[in-house]
Chains A and B, each alone.
Chain A
């Protein structure tokens, strides 16, 4: 039995709830895309092509995955905006804010790695730019200022599994998109909700 103030929907604008909702839709449709999608540089693009043109309702599922991911990328920052503007990060909710910022980062990483999976031209060059950004990080990148690691040891090497983009990179992006990041996000979301519960529910005017 938990009572919450009437009009809560007006306070939260449902933005957190909608973020969960779109995340669940992605989680629901993503694994079905995995049934036809093979993360190989020779196959991936053709598989997405098949998914859109041959597999019954494949295009629909892919569209759903894409558009709910898009809506999530809109919803999460706006949720953050509403949390900030209503001062809902103040004690006792600081920890939840920290969890939230991490979730924001992971959401963007999901959107980035997902975009690379079809291995079309946009994906390839987006991946190139992203990985070269890693290469240019200070200290840990081989081309950044004060770099200490050579090109076959730096952070970009570990991210793409080589000194250039190729099959190992796609495999890694696939792993990140379908296993590592969603797992971390699910765990953090659990913590996010537990924190709300522990703070005695959502913030309201005092």
Chain B
């Protein structure tokens, strides 16, 4: 190492750089800042040309016919159109959050695939997560682009000025059918994968397996309800005096 006289000695001159490594500061931080600078430029241009929307003054006496949430909540709004408010607004988000919080503890393998895209080894986990993630964005796209006035469904080529006629009255499963449907759905959803893939079951252990498959089945259950509602105009699967599903 040669030290040129008159130049301050910096710490990075004193140590050998390990191969394939760089300093966190300044090298790595500078790279991140460059990316930040890139987005700062974009943001300035964007903010110069595109104004944040501001709608009419709040009118508590009248809901506008074309009301739509901020785009990042349109997915939730779309979900709310299929379920009772306590389900779509509270129970489903709670389950999503619970699933996210539990993710590290539901994964039985502490090391496989850290720091890389291990499509082969962690396929199930990765595709499940991508599926849920994509579904959230799909809901946003449907809610934002395919919902017209009064939250009716419009294809992009349909005219929003034509108000859709109300659908025929909905129906619900009778109580025994509803109970049977739910028991069968969750029973099969939780047991069948373990029977088909016994290795998966043993690798997970009982507790992890049951929680994972419960969350999974819940997701499919919600999707199935949305499908039944759309296709057959089904309102409730289970009707009780205290709550409906």
The chain A residues found within 8 Å of chain B, CB to CB, are: 1-6, 8-9, 11, 14, 17-18, 21-22, 25, 41, 45, 48-49, 52, 59-60, 62-68, 70-71, 73, 77, 80-81, 84-91, 93-94, 97-98, 101, 104-105, 108, 111-112, 115, 118-126, 129, 132-133, 136-138, 141, 144-146, 165, 201-206
Are the CB atoms of A8 and B28 closer together than 8 Å? yes
Q: How many pairs of residues, A versus B, come closer than 8 Å at their CB atoms? A: 212
Contact with A along B99-121 (1 / 0, CB 8 A): 01101110101111111111000
* Residues A136 and B47 in contact in the complex (CB < 8 Å), given A90-B114, A120-B57, A145-B243: no
Interface contact B114-A206, CB-CB below 8 Å:
yes
- Given A1-B15, A6-B21, A94-B104, A66-B129 contact (CB < 8 Å): no
Tell me, yes or no, whether B196 is within 8 Å of chain A by CB: no
Kindly provide the distance from the CB of A92 to the nearest chain B CB, expressed in whole angstroms. Answer: 9
For the complex of A and B, the 3 pairs showing the least CB-CB separation, nearest first, are A133-B89, A124-B58, A63-B47
A4 touches B47 (CB 8 A): no
Q: List 10 A-B contacts (CB under 8 A).
A: A2-B24, A3-B21, A63-B50, A98-B101, A101-B101, A111-B72, A137-B90, A144-B90, A201-B24, A206-B115
Q: In whole Å, how far is B189's beta carbon from the nearest beta carbon of chain A?
A: 22
Q: Which of B10-54 contact A (CB under 8 A)?
A: 11-12, 15, 17-18, 20-25, 28, 31-32, 35-36, 39-40, 43-44, 46-48, 50-54
Beyond A49-B54, A146-B243, list 7 extra A-B contacts (CB 8 Å). Answer: A2-B25, A9-B35, A11-B115, A60-B47, A67-B50, A87-B113, A206-B114
Do A67 and B58 form a contact, CB below 8 Å, given A3-B23, A108-B72?
no
Given known pairs A60-B48, A111-B70, A126-B69, the reply for A204 and B100 (CB within 8 Å) is: no
- In the complex, A25 Cα to B57 Cα: how many Å? 27
Chain A residues with Cβ below 8 Å from B21 are: 3-6
Q: Is the Cβ of B52 less than 8 Å from the Cβ of A62?
A: yes
Interface 1/0 per residue, B57-93 and A, CB below 8 Å:
1111001100111101100010010001110011100
Cα separation A11 to B117 with both chains bound (whole Å):
10
Min C-beta distance of B208 to chain A, whole Å: 14
Contacts of B103 in A (CB 8 A): 84, 89, 97
Taking the closest CB of chain B, its distance from the CB of A77, in whole angstroms, is 7
Residue in B47, B115, B118 whose CB lies within 8 Å of A203: B115
Flag if A121 contacts B115 (CB, 8 Å): no
Q: Contact at A125–B63, with CB atoms within 8 Å?
A: yes
Residue of B nearest to A165 (CB): B60
Counting CB contacts under 8 A, is B122 at the interface?
yes
Residues in chain B near residue A146, CB distance under 8 A:
242-243
The answer to whether B86 and A126 have CB atoms under 8 Å apart is no
| From B35, B68, B113, contact of A122 by CB (8 A) | B68
Q: A21-B36, A63-B52 are in contact. Are A4 and B115 (CB under 8 A)?
A: no
**Candidates A9, A132, A203, A205; contact of B31 at CB < 8 Å:** A9
